[in-house]
Chain A
Amino acid sequence: MAKKMTPTQKSEAKWGLLFVAPTIIGLVLLNIYPIVNTIWQSFCKTGDFGKGNKFVGLLNYQNALANTETWQSLWNTIKYALIEVPFGVVIALLLAVLLNKKIAGRSIYRTIFFLPMVCAPAAVAMVWKWLYNTQFGLLNNIFHSKVAWISDPKIAWISIGVIGVWSIIGYNMVLFIGGLQEIPGDYYEAADIDGASGVRQFFSITVPLLSPTTFFIVQTRIIGALTIFDLMFMVMDKTNVALPKVQSIVYLFYDYAFTKGNKGYGATLVVILLVFILLLTWILQTAEKKLVYHN
């Protein structure tokens, strides 16, 4: 192949390889090698002080899969996603439809809704933890209640989910507005002439034509929600009795790999997460063909 190249093609090939070189070297070093290395470590027992990895085969996997803590944290992660994704998407869609019309103060509303996106989750979580405080928190003061928002195992996962929804609706909304603006206005004009109501137009025009955007948001948010860490780490103290019923799989990974120094077991947990996410991505891609409206 190289022999048949003209001088121009040859020079183009040289420039091309030169231009991708930094990125490719970086990706191999920082991402591809780490994937292989993490998988390798998941078959190893971490020695003292992180030294002397010893190959132990499937032992970490046997331990992880036999441990109810692993399954509980996977379930916790799914429960979090079950709050963040549907509520985050539906509320964002409604807001996007409202803001897509000519309305006074449109950009002010958008600025406010998007605000959590530029705030560090660490700070956001600290504020919400304070709002949720059982004795002195704003929520219990307003409602004259004594709810243990983040330390009652039955409701703590919902409270964390609420922070997740609050944080993400502005972002989802902006993506929805982008999708809405691509729907041609004539569809709605024609529907107006036919006398279709606003609600009817929403379900017959907006929902199907917006489905590629919706699918994209749902898919990326599912993956995002399954790797939730910051909010839980900041809101849930180590001593919180609700922690086992709330901690996500990434939280568990961080705890084992970096607090307890058991990198091998941590690697195992993250490989389990990888398999789970790849499987889900595959399922979603298959579903995409059936669920999304293509012109």
Chain B
Amino acid sequence: MESAIAKARMRKTVTHIILIIVSFIMLVPFAWMILTALKTTQESISVNPFFIFPHNGWHWENFATVWKSYNFLVLYKNTLLMIFFRVVCAVLTATMAGYAFGRLNFPFKKVLFMLVLIQMMVPGQIFIIPQYLMVSKMGMLNTTFGLVFPGLVTAFGTYLLKTGYEGLPKDLEEAAMIDGCNVGQRFLHIMMPLTRSSMVSLGIFTAVFAFKDLMWPMIVCTNANTTTLSAGLAKMQGQYGSEYPTMMAAATLAVLPMVIIYVIFQKQFVEGIATSGGKL
């Protein structure tokens, strides 16, 4: 009996050691990013002697410098606006379409749902050239509308919400029908509130996906004042790639807001992104 307990304890210790090593590997890049951001350029490229920590003061002012010189306020604003409109559009259109596909009967339902499935099956890059040409023809390059454009509707979100609606019990709606509610009332007052968790998942997924996207903002917003954090970083790297503390301060500023929100709402985040089913 005692050996069994010792064995279990041993197993637990080994588990923790493995998990701590992996945690360390996951965190080192973040730690090095922040430590470099706090050094002078001289320190960051000093190899002999090599310093892990900044050794003559922690240069917090690097953040202020990079904030001003790259106009981070504008990058945050652009990214936030893009995320806001994409989330609103995605949740609104997908909730309606998801309800219709999941609960209603209407002509051409199967054919129309095929369009949703086709969008999900093909690689997203195939849409980019025509989407760019459309935005360009509308004269909407370098605008928030241009950034939001490919995210006005969402096939994946429609699919996700459809699954959510299909999972709801039938009698709820039937009772409302007998009470004389029309489809719109049933949707708004009874069904929609019940899929709130799917809507939150879709919202988080849409926000994170938009935040991470690099190619589209690089294509439609080439101007440093109209682009997003991701594309802004690409621009900075092209110009000042060897000023390592500056670059790391910029990278820190770019990931920090999302990381903070993630740590606060981590349960919803993990669920929201995990239900996305690989469309990342």
Contact = CB atoms under 8 A, between A and B. Distances in A.
B47 A95 contact: no
* Interface class of chain A by DSSP: helix
Given A117-B208, A221-B278, A112 B153 contact: no
B190 interface: no
Interface in B52-85: none
A274 B126 contact: yes
| Central interface residue in B32, B123, B279, by most chain A CB within 10 Å | B123
Interface residues of B, number: 97
Contact of A30 (B127, B182, B254, B270): B127
Interface string B240-277: 01001001101100110011001100100110011001
B105 to A, nearest CB: 6
Nearest to A269: B125
A120 interface: yes
Contacts of A126: 233, 237, 247-248, 250-251
B176 interface: no
Interface in A19-64: 19-20, 22-28, 30-35, 37-38, 41, 50
Given A30-B152, A233-B234, A270 B251 contact: no
A182 to B, nearest CB: 14
Contacts of B19: 95, 98-99, 103, 105, 109
25 contacts: A12-B104, A12-B106, A13-B106, A22-B153, A24-B115, A26-B153, A30-B153, A35-B127, A99-B19, A109-B19, A110-B270, A111-B263, A115-B26, A122-B231, A135-B45, A171-B273, A175-B274, A221-B278, A229-B214, A234-B214, A254-B215, A258-B132, A270-B128, A270-B129, A278-B122
Interface of A: 1-2, 9, 11-17, 19-20, 22-28, 30-35, 37-38, 41, 50, 95, 98-99, 101, 103-105, 107, 109-124, 126-128, 130-131, 135-136, 138, 141, 166, 170-171, 174-175, 178, 216-217, 219-221, 223-224, 226-227, 229-230, 233-234, 237, 250, 253-254, 257-258, 263, 266-267, 270-271, 273-274, 277-278, 281
